């Protein structure tokens, strides 16, 4: 039997006068599901991020990926966008994304961590524990 694809949606949030796209992938079935805030690495929304946007919902997690590079001017290469990020903005925008998804999806978020990673992954670096709701 073929594994069911996750439901995927992109929402747009107004954050300090700018539009930020937030990518959501949800498992099929009645929720609520535990939530994961997935952070992409310096390369932005690449194949590694797309891989986990498929794998985490397949494991039962509602997965939320804010595009923190929305601050970056369009003419700047992705690998240079990191210099436009500020820690305080990333934290605030992550919280805004969680709040928006919680309101529309009814997902509960709580402090805690669980390591979820296959022995081998498609990224060049090992995965760290991911904060999820229980």
Residue 81 lies in a domain: yes
If one counts the domains in the chain, the total is 1
Residue 27 lies in a domain: yes
Q: Is the pLDDT of residue 16 over 50?
A: yes
Residue 86 lies in a domain: yes
* pLDDT (0 to 100) of residue 76: 92
Q: Is the pLDDT of residue 98 over 80?
A: yes
Residue 2 lies in a domain: no
Find the CATH number of the domain harbouring 30: 3.40.50.1820
Residue 1 lies in a domain: no
Segments forming the whole domain that contains residue 60? 7-131
Residue 41 lies in a domain: yes
Contacts of 119 (CB under 8 A, 6+ apart): none
More confident residue, 30 or 67: 67
Percentage of the chain with pLDDT > 70? 72
The token pair at 128 is 């760290």
pTM for the structure as a whole: 0.73
């Amino acid at each position: 039997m073929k594994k069911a694809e996750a439901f995927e949606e992109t929402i747009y949030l107004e954050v300090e006068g700018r539009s930020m796209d937030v990518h959501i992938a949800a498992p099929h079935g009645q929720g609520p599901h535990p939530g994961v805030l997935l952070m992409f690495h310096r390369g932005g929304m690449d194949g590694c991020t797309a891989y986990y946007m498929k794998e985490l919902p397949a494991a039962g997690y509602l997965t939320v990926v804010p595009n923190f590079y929305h601050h970056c001017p369009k003419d700047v290469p992705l690998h240079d966008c990191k210099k436009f990020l500020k820690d305080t903005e990333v934290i605030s925008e992550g919280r805004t994304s969680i709040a928006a998804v919680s309101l529309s999806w009814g997902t509960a978020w709580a402090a805690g961590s669980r390591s979820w990673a296959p022995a081998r992954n498609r990224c060049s670096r090992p995965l760290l524990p991911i904060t999820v709701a229980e």
